[in-house]
Each structure stands twice: as structure tokens, then as C-alpha cells.
Amino acid sequence: MITCSAPGKVYLFGEHAVVYGENAICCAVELRTKVSVEKSDEIIIESILGRTRLDHDTHPYVSYVIEKMRQFVDIPGVRIVIESELPVGSGLGSSAAVTVASIQALNHLYECGLSLEDIAKTGHEIEKMVQGNASPTDTYVSTMGGVVMIPQRKKLELINCPIVVGNTHKFSSTKQLVGNVSKLRSDFPSVVEPILSNIGQISILAEKLVAEGDYETIGKLMNINQGLLDAIGVGCAELSSLVYAARDNGAISAKITGAGGGGCMVALTREDNAEAIAKAIENAGGEAIITKNTAEGVRLESLHG
């Protein structure tokens, strides 16, 4: 049995706008999805979502991974077992992590020789197939780790303050939220396009601040980004409540991460107040996770057992 893992991510800036070619800055976090694979007589996919064969309803990402990998190698049967620390459908890039870890696990099992660039590219094609429209961000960051500026795919300095995630536990589907923003943009192009472009400008300003480790100014820009995400309709009462709980208790910044509509928010904090902010998020009805940026993308965990 071969096991690979890939990290989730939070967006410091730029979700949704990045789908339209604007800049974004995204940060891999130390929450991982593990995928174990072994050859078998039939195709079996096991996860928290169920035990299926190739199944584009229950396991769309992994089913497409198998179909894509069949372009490189004959896969008569394989057993794939998924274990994840990432909540499903919550803005932390669980879809990208399961996709990237599955590609790398099959890459090792069948000795396909795919490079990290090939894995990120194949992962992006799969996210596009499932979501309808997808940026390369999540799959690239999950493959490469670190902090990445998109679309340049440029690695920036690591973020070295605590990252507190607040989960609303309200389910959100990236496909649906990306579709909603697309409709709003075509209904009101003269209003929505400048908002998306302003979100992109924030990332351009922030690049230098990340290099300098100027988290106070990064935080102010993240808070502006949050307002613009609300403006394009991807906020909700539960997310706002966690965002304000974090800010009111001294977070450097707090905003939605990922598709929004539910799912998670992210706060940057100081070393000495991460716990207090996590508590404030819990008191406001969310589940808090204290995590940090990781430099490590997809990796081989073990070859046996």
C-alpha cells in the first residue's frame, strides 16, 4: 500500500477574483488529506463520504483522477482509501488536497513519472471538470506548499504567525458559489468587474508586505478583501459572526477563506492571542482550529502498511 498526503490551504487574498485572472495569494496549511492506494481486482474508493466504485456523484474528484491517470497507464482495478483532517466543502481546499494526493499516490503505484508541475496541471484540469470553472490556485498550492502568488505561481515568504480557522459547519459547494459569482458578474458587469479587479489589486499591494512580514498592514488589506467578498454575495450571517468575533478579540485580520456561503473564515493572530481568538470563535458558535503555514506540498508518507 502506498500513502501520499497533500495539504489544504487558506486564501490570504483573492478567492473568486482569481477565477477571472486577477491576482491572489494563497497559503498551504498543516491540515492534510491522506490517500492510500493498492492494486485490486476492482475499483474501490473509500472515504468519509462512503464506499463506492467509480462514482461521479459521491467521489467526483477521485473518479476523474482515475480516468485521467488511465491516459498514462492501464488501471484495471485499484483500492483507494481517503482519510482527511480537512472538513469537506468548507473553503480549506479539501477538493484540491484529495485530488493532488490521489494523483501522486497513483503516480507512485504505477510509476508514471509525473513531475510536480504535471500533478498541479492535472489537478487543475480535474477541478475545472467538476467545478465548471476553477483557478489553478488550490491544486498548485496543495502540490507545491508554501505561500504562492497566482497567476504567476511565484513562491513568497512563509507566513510565520498563527493562523486560526473558524468553521461555521454550514455546508457550501464551491461549484455553486463560483456559479453565483459568474451570474452576478454577467448581470452587473460594470459593478462587479471593478470589485474583482480591486480584489486583485489588493494582492499586488500585499506581495511586498508578505516579503517584509508586515502582518499589521496585511491584516488591514485582508479586512478590505472581506468587505469586497461580502459585496459579491459570498458572505453569510454565520461567517460574519465568526469574522467579527475574531476581530473584536484582537485578531490582526479576519476574512472568509475559499468559496464562502458557509464553510470557514481565517484569522491571522499574534502568538500570544491565538488561543483567545479560537475561544471567541467557539463562543460565537464556530469550531476553531489553530494551524500554521507549511512549506511542504504533496508528499509520500509511506510505501507499506
> Site residues (CB under 6 A) for ligand ADP?
33, 47-49, 59-61, 82, 84, 88-95, 98, 173-174, 258-259, 263
User: With respect to ligand ADP, which residue has the nearer C-beta, 14 or 89?
Assistant: 89
Distance CA 64, CA 210 (A): 35
Residue type at position 272: D
Query: Is 187 an active-site residue?
Result: no
> Active site residue: 41, 55, 57, 138, which one?
138
**Contact track, ligand PMV, 10-49, x by CB under 6 A:** -----xx-xx------------------------------
- Partner touching 16 among Mg ion, ligand ADP, ligand PMV, none, CB below 5 to 8 Å by kind: ligand PMV
- Partner touching 119 among ligand PMV, Mg ion, ligand ADP, none, CB below 5 to 8 Å by kind: none
Residue 14, SS3?
coil
CB burial of residue 280 (10 Å; 0-12, 13-18, 19+): buried
Distance CA 149, CA 241 (A): 29
Cell of 95: 477538493
Instruction: Find how far residue 33's CA is from the centre of its chain.
Output: 12
Q: Contacts with ligand PMV in 248-267 (CB under 6 A)?
A: 258-259
User: With respect to ligand ADP, which residue has the nearer C-beta, 89 or 200?
Assistant: 89
Q: Specify the DSSP element, H or E, that contains 121.
A: helix 116-131
Q: Is 93 annotated as a binding residue?
A: yes
Minimum Å gap between C-beta 258 and ligand ADP is: 5
Distance CA 45, CA 74 (A): 17
CB burial of residue 154 (10 Å; 0-12, 13-18, 19+): exposed
Closest residue to ligand PMV, based on beta-carbon distance = 258
With contact defined as beta carbons under 8 Å apart, do 164 and 267 qualify?
yes
Among 33, 107, 137, 269, interactor with ligand PMV by CB under 6 A: 137
**Contact track, Mg ion, 95-134, x by CB under 5 A:** x---------------------------------------
Minimum Å gap between C-beta 6 and Mg ion is: 12
User: With respect to ligand ADP, which residue has the nearer C-beta, 106 or 252?
Assistant: 106
Q: Is 90 annotated as a binding residue?
A: yes
The DSSP secondary-structure symbol of 110 reads T
Active centre residues (catalytic):
138
Binding-site entries: 87-97
